[in-house]
Amino acid sequence: MRGIETSGGKISGVVTERGSIACSSVVLAGGAWSSLFARNAGIDLPQLKVMNTVIRTKPIEGGPEHTLYGKDFAFRKRQDGGYTIASRYDNIVEIVPDSFRYMLKFLPALKSEWRSLRFRVSGRFLEEGRMAQRWRMDEETPFERCRVLDPKPSDKWTNHALAQLRQDYPVFAKAEIEQRWAGYIDVSPDAVPVISPVEEVPGFFIATGFSGHGFGIGPGAGRLMADLVTGHTPCVDPTPFRLSRFFDGSKIEVISGV
């Protein structure tokens, strides 16, 4: 999707690279791309990206059935008998232009979670600095130039996590790594998602900033968003998830341990 169309100040459609689609409501659920998309629509959405790497092992006989999130590692058994393993400290924050744009709003999160964050300056700064921040509906967008965000995995902290896991759980001593992959987590200043209408543009809704918990709370978030879009009584109080909390003077309270 390239952008939204409005008529009389309300949503009237969306524009894709293949043409326009008329509609009265649209939901932006673009993950790590959401802030840039919203910016082109004139909406300020404070959001940054955190990169995390995980490893997948080959099946391990006699391994634990439970899921665990500990000091140095987290693991979950997969259906094939292998395990997904991650490090609590393998949260790489690329320094990019948005880091400075939203610095003040993310200061509480920095103070709360600095032990688990690894800041890095790389070519990503220039790459994002060159990205168009505004575009016309007849122009190619950054999302069309980069269809998939596929960052290079970081070995250091996943190796550390696996080493600690082997020490605490000897059954993992012979664990073989089948795959490593990395991804960008869309994070909000308080680690709470934005599931909200955009007051300035009736008919425009945002669902993003899940801060690493999207798979867990996705079904509930989808239900809440559906209620908001259709005008039904919300399944839960949507107030804590409103976009305006970042601009109405509310204190940013960070959910610890995210």
Domain ranges of the chain: 24-47+188-258, 48-185
pLDDT of residue 258: 43
Closest CA to 129 of 102, 98, 92, 106: 98
Query: In whole angstroms, what is the distance from residue 72 CA to residue 90 CA?
Result: 10
Question: Structurally, what CATH architecture does the domain formed by 24-47+188-258 represent?
Answer: 3-Layer(bba) Sandwich (3.50)
The enclosing H or E element of 74 equals strand 74-77
CATH code of the domain occupying 48-185: 3.30.9
Using pLDDT thresholds of 50, 70 and 90, give the confidence band for residue 35.
very high
Share of residues in the chain with pLDDT > 90 (%):
86
Q: What is the pLDDT of residues 97-145, one digit of tens each?
A: 999 999 999 999 999 888 889 999 999 999 999 999 999 999 999 999 9
pLDDT of residue 17: 94
Is the fold of 24-47+188-258 the same as that of 48-185? no
**Mean pLDDT of the 184-192 span:** 95
pLDDT of residue 26: 98
Q: What is the pLDDT of residues 19-34, one digit of tens each?
A: 999 999 999 999 999 9
Nearest-5° angle of CA 22, CA 45, CA 9? 35
Using pLDDT thresholds of 50, 70 and 90, give the confidence band for residue 256.
low
Closest CA to 106 of 178, 44, 46: 46
pTM: 0.91
The 3-state DSSP class for residue 125 equals helix
The answer, yes or no, to whether residue 245 has pLDDT greater than 70, is: yes
Mean pLDDT over the full length of the chain = 94
Query: In whole angstroms, what is the distance from residue 80 CA to residue 9 CA?
Result: 51
Give bridge partners of residue 31 from the DSSP assignment. none
C-alpha count within 13 angstroms, C-beta hemisphere, residue 151: 22
